[in-house]
Amino acid sequence: MNKAEASLRARSATTVPGGMYGHKNVAHLPAGFPQFFEKGLGASIWDADGHEYIDMMCSWGPIILGHQNPLVDEAVRQQLAQGECFNGPSSRMVELAELLTDTVAHADWALFCKNGTDATTLAVAVARTETSKRKVIMANGSYHGIAAWSSSPTAAGIPADERAHTIRIEYNDVASLRAAVSEADDDLAALVLTPLRHDISRDLEPVSPEFARAARELCNRHNAVLILDEVRTGFRIDPVGSWTSLGVQPDLSAWSKALGNGHAIAALLGTRTLEAAATRITATGSFWFGSVPMAAALATVREIRRPESQAILTASGTKLQNCLRTQAASYGLDVNVSGPPALPFMTFANDPGFELSAVWARAALDEGAYFHPTHNWFLGTAHTDAVIDRVLNATDLAFARVARVTAEPGADRLLRAG
């Protein structure tokens, strides 16, 4: 292991629970991935030992305009010169609410917080307040944050009764949705869905238009609130809202990650009819009105909603996805590339334990491209055509490594594992 990395891991092992916690724990990655990073610039990140990688995770979503984007950083500098934390919000909050309601089709108002979990959980609170009902339907495998209502049955420290009002369905399965609505009976407050199925460790799956329309129709019929969780998809599918092209609008939507290009900010957006309920819930936090992340978000949203920015995401993501398919085929490897262009992912056929993915991601890392083997990737506007060419150079060598590994004796064991 490299020197700075080894030293940081040893020190954090004595002062941080488990040395590291959460989804960014390197324990979820193949050996050799760095835990610590010291710098990001454009499409690149540098680990603690100074190795550069092209960042195909964009910090797991937030970095949509590249690290240290000059427009965002200038807005941050200007706001820092004014201050961050006051006895109330600055005018940035009003400007940001205006910008978001002008950008996102269904939104008439915006309420700000810090993390995706805050936004999805506030959404549930608004829905329950509006309807005076309790049950919430969500899909198996979907992630809406770390709050108790959406926690998995294996989550430590959360009593099962805190999930008592959550009913699980299968994503894209209208029959299971109808069954859950029946089960909720006259107590259904909300249906919470992600715009597409992007669960960890599986191919990404677009929403079926029938499912999206059934969700809307059932919410209308049962006086329930349709909540769209755009935390991961926000600004990477359609800045006006991911289901707008389907003709389906949610009542509430939760946004975070890309909203501030790396600055801590989240937003709950809603329709006018839910504004009164939104004023009644308890929504506040010591840092929720911070002006610097709001200034960052203003610069980010203005930039990312431009058609030119969206065109880069589409062109670069499409090129990456097409070339990955071609490269894999040239080595006789069978892959499935899924997801929208700016949220791509790839799995290998007959690789249920993600062992080939691990070999591939580790090899790509050696060649200077940081991909996650089991979680979807993220693109940003810093992934220009030239950057994608460098990435494809790395992925070609990574496929070569997988081809060599699968040709080795004992590879059948590798392929059976998992």
Ligand X SMILES: Cc1ncc(COP(=O)(O)O)c(C=O)c1O
Residues near ligand X (CB under 6 A) = 115-117, 120, 143-145, 194, 229, 231-232, 256
State the burial class of residue 335 (Cβ atoms within 10 Å of its Cβ: 0-12, 13-18, 19+).
buried
Least separation in angstroms between residue 85's CB and ligand X is 20
Nearer to ligand X, 232 or 383 (CB): 232
Report the candidate in 298, 305, 346 with the shortest Cα–Cα distance to residue 326.
346
Rounded Cα gap, residues 192 and 120, in angstroms: 8
Least separation in angstroms between residue 278's CB and ligand X is 19
Are 360 and 373 in contact, with CB atoms under 8 Å apart?
Answer: yes
Residue 369 phi/psi, 5° resolution?
Answer: -125, 125
Least separation in angstroms between residue 147's CB and ligand X is 9
Nearer to ligand X, 216 or 257 (CB): 257
Least separation in angstroms between residue 113's CB and ligand X is 10
Nearer to ligand X, 144 or 305 (CB): 144
Nearer to ligand X, 122 or 301 (CB): 122
Least separation in angstroms between residue 236's CB and ligand X is 12
Work out whether strand 135-139 and strand 188-193 pair parallel, antiparallel, or are unpaired: parallel
Least separation in angstroms between residue 11's CB and ligand X is 25
Nearer to ligand X, 227 or 358 (CB): 227
Least separation in angstroms between residue 193's CB and ligand X is 10
User: Per the structure block, which two tokens stand in for 132?
Assistant: 């005076």
Rounded Cα gap, residues 195 and 240, in angstroms: 13
Nearer to ligand X, 119 or 398 (CB): 119
> What residue is closest to ligand X based on CB?
116
Rounded Cα gap, residues 20 and 177, in angstroms: 38
Nearer to ligand X, 212 or 231 (CB): 231
